[in-house]
């Protein structure tokens, strides 16, 4: 990722402009590696999000609302004790190192004013969030480390020491011409050389510089005079951007709309392979990039027990269906069993006991001889009865297996729909609703002794089309049933992705004729809230609510419909149209 030292410098300037002088109003810790501080300013409240997770460490203002756990961890309680009510005075950075210092002016337990510093170190798997007192002593840290685990000690009571820094050039103060001359004598890859020389340069920016100077095919050869001039010119552009504080938040996405990378400047090296777009701010860029990228993984961490239960149930049901299908295949020869029984009965007086095979003319096959295996210890009549018995058993089993397989497929569809709802759940309230649904279905045991707080009833997810129609989406299967059968009216439009698990989506007509534009936009929304959200062309069925039926005894969210139309949409159009 390109959250390099220079990007962090620009982010620091952006945060200073918005947050200096703000008071820490609320503090909570959504997970063991995340921290949220709600800072109140005259312009309003901002949620400042910190993460020291290895693959998504960062700090930014967030628009999303991470859950506040019902029982705060001990570290969160300590941070509240020291920082709640404190005023943010300064945000500092050591040159272009990936460390930010948030200086607070606070009041201690006896009313004395004290200085505190919250340090966020953004260094991949070595990332950390550390609280210091005014003397630079560590109060506590998200990741405690001793000398055996790290090159420095990070423990309460110890003195904070900066991580080791590499000797690199600062682009603001170095002689660019001299540096370029040094690069010109090297035959290493230009991107590698830039990464080794300059502070705060990410691999992405280094590759972009190399692409601009040498073209798309970078080779390890000495640069020409004109290329060195071009390199100096490009480095000067970056220096100017830093000095004038004019970054351009730039997001790269792949063909499916998934976030790929980001920078503080336009990135052109990927040509048409990736799509680039400018963002409103550096914080907004980080917020959207990591939130979407980590959406599924974040839910898995918070609801691992539910994922484990559901995936185990899916595997069991799928295995049971496979076994029943194999048994059903064995029932295909049941008519042969009946014919053998009839042939033995018709010829029993000419057959003898004590043989293991009867050779009998088959009147179903032009009286050709057929060999029928039998038990030599049984009389012909008893062998015939055994074949009749096996035939009835196979006939009964076939009926039962067809019903069981059909029920199993319905259960599998239901479980996959719950898994899909779980993958899109973002709050504790949504997870609570899914857990209750699984308790009702008997998949999760109800913890009678656990004191769970009552959760407020969740609202539907709502959108508005460009021509003014209201669109509602169910968050889970219970909400899907409520939306379709209790909230919507007969002449509202119902939509669902075809062939994939997904949420019920409804366009409320409000006694108006629903437009094609509204149907297309709502279909994109339905595709987005489904298992097919990462595909490009997704078929979505739509029909009036009056055509939707729920069979007796069907699980939550299961419906049938026979009158419908289908439209092909791109789930990513949801963001453009709603």
Q: Each residue of 142-186: pLDDT tens digit?
A: 999 887 767 889 999 999 999 888 889 999 999 999 999 888 887
**Mean predicted confidence (pLDDT) in 320-333:** 89
Among the listed residues 577, 568, 512, the one whose alpha carbon sits nearest the alpha carbon of residue 542: 568
Q: Closest by alpha carbon to 302, among 69, 576, 519, 52?
A: 69
Q: What is the pTM of this model?
A: 0.63
| The pLDDT of residue 449 | 47
What kind and span of H or E run contains 103?
A: strand 99-107
Q: What is the pLDDT of residue 515?
A: 94
Tokens of residue 180, six digits:
């370029």
Using DSSP, state whether 199 is helix, strand or coil. Answer: coil
Whether the per-residue pLDDT at 459 is higher than 80: the answer is: yes
What's the mean pLDDT in 413-433? 84
What number is the average pLDDT over the span 546-574?
A: 90
Which of 256, 189, 184 has its CA nearest to residue 571?
256
Sheet strands side by side (includes 275-278): 259-263, 250-253, 275-278
Section 247-251 average pLDDT: 93
Average pLDDT rounded to a whole number, residues 351-375: 88
How far apart CA 275 and CA 257 sit, in angstroms, is 8
pLDDT at 183: 87
Q: Cα–Cα distance between 74 and 140 in angstroms, integer?
A: 11
Burial of residue 410, with CB atoms counted within 10 A of its CB: 0-12 exposed, 13-18 middle, 19 or more buried = middle
Structure tokens at 423: 């993958």
pLDDT band of residue 1 (cuts 50, 70, 90) is low
pLDDT computed for residue 484 by the predictor? 95
Cβ proximity of 352 and 341 under 8 Å: no
Confidence of residue 451 (pLDDT cuts 50, 70, 90): very low
31 vs 23, which has greater pLDDT? 23
Averaged pLDDT for residues 37-46: 94
DSSP state of 41: E
Angstrom distance (rounded) from CA 33 to CA 58: 11
Q: Residue 526 in 3-state DSSP?
A: helix
Span 431-457, average pLDDT: 73
Residue 506, helix vs strand vs coil: strand
Q: Is the pLDDT assigned to residue 481 strictly greater than 70?
A: yes
546 has a pLDDT exceeding 90: yes
**Could you tell me which residues come within 8 angstroms of residue 341 by beta carbon, excluding any fewer than 6 positions away?**
384, 385, 387, 388, 391
Q: What is the pLDDT of residue 290?
A: 87
pLDDT at 67 > cutoff 90? no
SS3 per-residue string spanning 332-384: HHHHHHHHHHHHHHHCHHHCCCCCCEEEEEECCCCCEEEEEECCCCCCHHHHH
User: In which band, very low, low, confident or very high, does the pLDDT at 366 lie, cut at 50, 70 and 90?
Assistant: confident
Phi, psi of 248 (to 5 degrees): -120, 95
- The tokens for 548 are 């939707």
Tokens of 168: 């690199």
Overall average pLDDT of the 455-460 stretch: 78
- What would the mean pLDDT of 531-540 be, rounded to a whole number? 89
For the record, the structure tokens of 131 come out as 């609280």
- Range with the lowest mean pLDDT among 92-106, 452-466, 526-540? 452-466
Q: What is the mean pLDDT of the segment spanning 126-145?
A: 94
Q: What is the rounded average pLDDT of the residues 96-122?
A: 94
Asked if 67 and 76 touch (Cβ cutoff 8 Å), the reply is no
Would you say 75 and 166 are in contact if contact means Cβ atoms under 8 Å apart?
no
CA dist., res. 312 & res. 81, Å (int): 43
Q: Are 99 and 162 in contact (CB under 8 A)?
A: yes
- pLDDT greater than 70 at residue 82: yes
Please give the helix or strand (H or E) that residue 54 lies within, else none: none
Q: What is the pLDDT of residue 566?
A: 95
pLDDT of residue 578: 53
């Amino acid at each position: 990722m390109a959250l390099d030292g220079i990007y962090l410098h620009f982010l620091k300037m952006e945060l200073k402009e918005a947050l200096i002088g703000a008071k820490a109003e609320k503090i909570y810790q959504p997970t063991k590696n995340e921290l949220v501080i709600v800072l109140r300013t005259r312009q309003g409240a901002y949620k400042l999000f910190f993460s020291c997770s290895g693959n998504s460490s960062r700090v930014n203002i967030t628009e999303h609302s991470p859950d506040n756990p019902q029982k705060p961890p001990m570290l969160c309680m300590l941070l509240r004790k020291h920082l709640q009510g404190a005023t943010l005075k300064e945000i500092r950075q050591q040159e272009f190192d990936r460390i930010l210092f948030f200086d607070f002016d606070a009041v201690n337990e006896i009313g004395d004013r004290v200085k505190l510093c919250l340090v966020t170190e953004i260094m991949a798997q070595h990332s950390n969030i550390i609280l210091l007192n005014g003397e630079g002593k560590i109060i506590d840290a998200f990741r405690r480390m001793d000398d055996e685990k790290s090159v420095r000690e990070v423990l309460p009571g110890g003195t904070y020491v900066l991580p080791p820094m590499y000797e690199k050039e600062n682009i603001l103060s170095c002689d660019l011409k001299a540096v370029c001359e040094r690069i010109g004598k090297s035959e290493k890859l230009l991107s590698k050389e830039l990464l080794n020389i300059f502070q705060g340069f990410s691999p992405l920016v280094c590759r972009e510089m190399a692409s601009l100077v040498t073209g798309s095919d970078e080779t390890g050869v000495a640069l020409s005079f004109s290329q060195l001039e071009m390199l100096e010119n490009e480095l000067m552009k970056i220096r100017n951007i830093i000095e004038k504080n004019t970054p351009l938040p730039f997001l790269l996405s792949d063909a499916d709309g998934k976030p790929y990378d980001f920078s503080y400047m336009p990135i052109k090296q990927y040509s048409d392979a990736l799509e680039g777009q400018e963002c409103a701010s550096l914080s907004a860029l980080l917020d959207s990039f990591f939130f979407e990228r980590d959406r599924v993984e974040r839910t898995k961490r918070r609801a691992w027990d539910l994922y484990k239960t559901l995936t185990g149930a899916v595997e069991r049901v799928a295995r049971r269906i496979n076994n029943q299908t194999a048994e059903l295949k064995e029932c295909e020869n049941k008519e042969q069993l009946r014919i053998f029984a009839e042939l033995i009965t018709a010829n029993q007086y000419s057959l003898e006991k004590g043989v293991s095979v009867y050779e009998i003319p088959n009147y179903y096959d032009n009286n050709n001889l057929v060999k029928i295996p039998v038990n030599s210890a049984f009389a012909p009549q008893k062998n015939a009865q055994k074949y009749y018995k096996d035939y009835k058993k196979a006939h009964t089993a076939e009926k039962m297996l067809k019903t069981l397989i059909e029920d199993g497929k319905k259960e599998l569809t239901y479980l996959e729909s719950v898994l899909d709802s779980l993958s899109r759940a973002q709050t504790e309230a949504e997870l609570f609703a899914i857990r209750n649904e699984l308790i009702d279905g008997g998949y999760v045991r109800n913890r009678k002794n656990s004191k769970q707080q009552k959760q407020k009833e969740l609202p539907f997810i709502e959108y508005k089309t460009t021509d003014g129609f209201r669109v509602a989406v169910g968050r889970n299967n219970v909400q899907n049933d409520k939306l379709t059968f209790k909230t919507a009216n007969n002449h509202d439009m119902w939509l669902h992705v075809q062939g994939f698990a997904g949420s019920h989506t409804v366009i409320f007509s409000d006694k108006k004729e629903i437009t094609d534009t509204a149907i297309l936009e709502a279909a994109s929304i339905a595709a987005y809230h489904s298992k097919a959200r990462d595909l490009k062309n997704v078929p979505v069925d739509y029909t009036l609510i009056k055509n939707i039926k729920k069979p007796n005894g069907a699980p939550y969210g299961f419906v049938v419909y026979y009158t419908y139309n289908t439209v092909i949409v791109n789930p990513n159009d949801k963001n453009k149209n709603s």
